[in-house]
Each structure stands twice: as structure tokens, then as C-alpha cells.
Amino acid sequence: MKKRSILTISILAVLIILMNLFVSWKNIPVGVSDSDIRQSVSKSFLILEKSGYLFTERSRLKCAGCHHTTLTSMVAASAREKGIPVIDSFSNKRVEAMIRNLKFASNPNLIDQFLTVNFNAPYTLLGLYAENYPPGIITDISVDYTISQSKPDGSFLTESGRVPLESGDIHCAAFSIRAIQLYASASKKNLVDALVRTTRRWLEAQNPDQQQEIVFQLLGMHWCGSSHDLKLPVAQKLLATQHADGGWSQLTTLGSDAYATGQALYALCESGMVKPSDEVYQRGLSYLLKTQESSGVWYVQTRSYGIQPFFSSSFPPNDESQFISAAATNWADLALLEALPDKVK
């Protein structure tokens, strides 16, 4: 009887050890190589640059799209830091298009007479900053208008005409306050500092349940200077929504896609809450590399109603989903680039 008990205990001990080894093996991060990332981004970024140029040239108002232009400028800035080639002529065209957008939207004689699309100025200013565009009268007008759209509680007037790129109170507040920080003149320092504090408190008090709003709550809090302890529960909420495949989804009713995954990874890394070497980030990168199409892009199905007649920017696969797919490809590239070391200067 005693021998049988010893045998049973020994078998259980061996099983426990084997189970621990199995769990440990399952939790080993899937390593993503720098060369794979460089190859992936180099392929997708060239398509983004070309299709962004074509989007502007083919649009009736020579529009600089958030999906094709401003986000691509942000990718270009990161690509330069990582030593990935950027075509300067395309950068120049993006800057021309973004400045044209702001001039079309504004009236130099009246601050508040600005095209009432409140994502326009913040996205465009962030794109211009990524291209190292210097402050001037047109950026001053855009900043003044953006400030005029702030509410007493620290949020900003917004609209939700096109999801997900132009939707979400937190999304708008985060990008608006960041654009103001980057381009407000020194004479507005006291005003801007007070607005940043008010917006920070508003962001910290929010409790969003949609992926993009959680992403921009984390980014906005980081940009406004929230403490690590206050950012931590927001990051944990975002981490808890990662799927088994390593990706994130825009809505709980949808599957993982590159738009949501790229945003989530970028926010977690930019805010300092996750390192690219962490398992959660490596799983996200692995998801992105596995789902990149042979053309070099990431395809995401649109869920927005068009606001203008459709035209093609020659972004694969050239259907009505190409604009959100371009945005998704930009966010995927931003997340991938975060994992690369800066080039040696």
C-alpha cells in the first residue's frame, strides 16, 4: 500500500513537471526577425507612397487623405529613423497636398471660419510635423481653430461621419491635443499648458469599451503626461482584448485585422507600457507578418459609407475597401517599425 502511494505521488510529480514544461514552451515568444520586418515594411511602404500620390492626383480637390497621406508621412518619419529608404519626391508631394488641404479649409481673416471636419486639422498637422514642416501662418490658423473646438471639460467637438478614421470623442481629443502641442506658438504656452491639463483629466476619467477609443485614451494620456500608474489600467484593458491569433479587432463582433492590431501595438509601445521584445508585442508582429498579402498590403473590409464618388488610387485590391486598407497598412507599418533599432548615425 505504501509503495503504491509513493508510486502515485511520483507519477503526479512527473506529470506536474511535464505540464509546467509544456506551459513554459507554449509561452515562449515567437521571435520576429529584423530582416523580416524590413522586408515587409519596404514592400508595403513603396505601395503606400505611390498610391498616396495617385490618390491626391485623382481626387477632384487634390485632397490629402488621412488614410493615404498623413499616416504615410508618419510612417515615413519612422522609416527614416530606422534606415528604410523614403522617396523624397513623394514626401514633397505629400507636404504640398497637406498644405493645400489646410489652405482650402481655412480663412486667414477669421479663425473660426474653418471647414467643420474636426479630424482634418489634427491629422494634417501630425502629418506635417512628421515631414519636419516648419510652423507658419497656415499651421497657426489650424492650431487656433483646433483650440477653438475644445470644450470646458477638456474634450473636443467631433463628428463621426466615417468610421473608424473619423469617429470617436477620445480619438479626436488625443489627436487634437497632440497637434496643438506640436505646433502652437510660444505665445500660447500658458493657454496650451492649461488645456493639456484639462484634457489629461478628461482622458483619465473616460471608460471606453471600443478598441480605437482605448488606443487613443492611452496615447492621449501619454502625450498629456499622465503617470505610469494611471496609464497601466488602460494598457491592461487593451492587452486583455488581444485575440488568440495575436491580433486585435475594431469591434468585438469582428475578427482581428491590421488596422486594429497596428494601432494597439503602436499605442502600447509609444506609451512605454510594452516593449517590442515582450511576448504580447511579438505575437502581434507575428500576426501582422502572417496576414500581409502577397502584394505587400493588408486588406481590411470597409464598414463606412462613402462621402464622395469612388475612384481608385491603385491600392490593391482596387475596390471600395482600399482607403481603410491603406490606413491599416500604415498602422501595421508603424507597429512593425517600432520593433526595429534606430539606424546608426
* Per-position b or e across 176-212, b if 16+ CB within 10 A of its CB: bbbbbbbbbeeebeeebeebbebbbebbbebebebbb
For residues 172 and 89, give the distance between their C-alpha atoms in angstroms, rounded to a whole number.
30
Provide the pLDDT confidence category of residue 16 given band limits of 50, 70 and 90.
Answer: very low
User: Average pLDDT of 64-91?
Assistant: 96
Q: What is the per-residue pLDDT for 142?
A: 96
User: The domain that contains 75 carries what CATH number?
Assistant: 1.50.10.20
Query: Would 278 be classed as within a structural domain?
Result: yes
Under a CB-based contact definition with an 8 Å cutoff, are residues 300 and 259 in contact? yes
Q: Cα dist. 194→182, 199, 203, 244 in Å?
A: 15, 9, 14, 42
Q: What's the pLDDT tens digit per position in 84-121? A: 999 999 999 999 999 999 999 998 887 678 888 899 99
Provide the pLDDT confidence category of residue 13 given band limits of 50, 70 and 90.
Answer: very low
Query: Would 23 be classed as within a structural domain?
Result: no
Under a CB-based contact definition with an 8 Å cutoff, are residues 176 and 156 in contact? yes
Q: How many structural domains does the chain have?
A: 1
Q: What's the pLDDT tens digit per position in 140-179? A: 999 999 999 999 999 999 987 789 999 999 999 999 999 9
For residues 162 and 270, give the distance between their C-alpha atoms in angstroms, rounded to a whole number.
26
Under a CB-based contact definition with an 8 Å cutoff, are residues 253 and 3 in contact? no
Q: What is the per-residue pLDDT for 30?
A: 53
For residues 71 and 181, give the distance between their C-alpha atoms in angstroms, rounded to a whole number.
18
Q: What's the pLDDT tens digit per position in 241-298? A: 999 999 999 999 999 999 999 999 999 999 999 999 999 999 999 999 999 999 999 9
Pairing type for strands 110-114 and 106-107 reads antiparallel
User: Does 226 score more than 60 pLDDT?
Assistant: yes
Query: Would 344 be classed as within a structural domain?
Result: no
Length of the chain counted residue by residue: 345
Under a CB-based contact definition with an 8 Å cutoff, are residues 250 and 167 in contact? no
Copy the grid coordinates of residue 103.
Answer: 489652405
Query: Would 250 be classed as within a structural domain?
Result: yes
- Closest C-alpha among 41, 82, 96 to residue 330: 41
| pTM for this model (two decimals) | 0.90
Burial label, 88 (beta-carbon count in 10 A; 0-12, 13-18, 19+):
exposed
Query: Would 294 be classed as within a structural domain?
Result: yes
Query: Would 19 be classed as within a structural domain?
Result: no
Q: What is the per-residue pLDDT for 20?
A: 46
- Which amino acid, 222? H
Query: Would 119 be classed as within a structural domain?
Result: yes
Q: What is the mean pLDDT of the chain?
A: 91
Query: Would 15 be classed as within a structural domain?
Result: no
Rg (CA), the chain: 22
Under a CB-based contact definition with an 8 Å cutoff, are residues 256 and 247 in contact? yes
Q: What is the per-residue pLDDT for 233?
A: 98
Contacts of 214 (CB under 8 A, 6+ apart): 208, 234, 237, 238, 241
| 159: containing domain | 32-338
The more confidently predicted of residues 18 and 328 is 328
For residue 322, the Cα-to-chain-centroid distance in whole angstroms is 17
Q: What is the per-residue pLDDT for 199?
A: 98
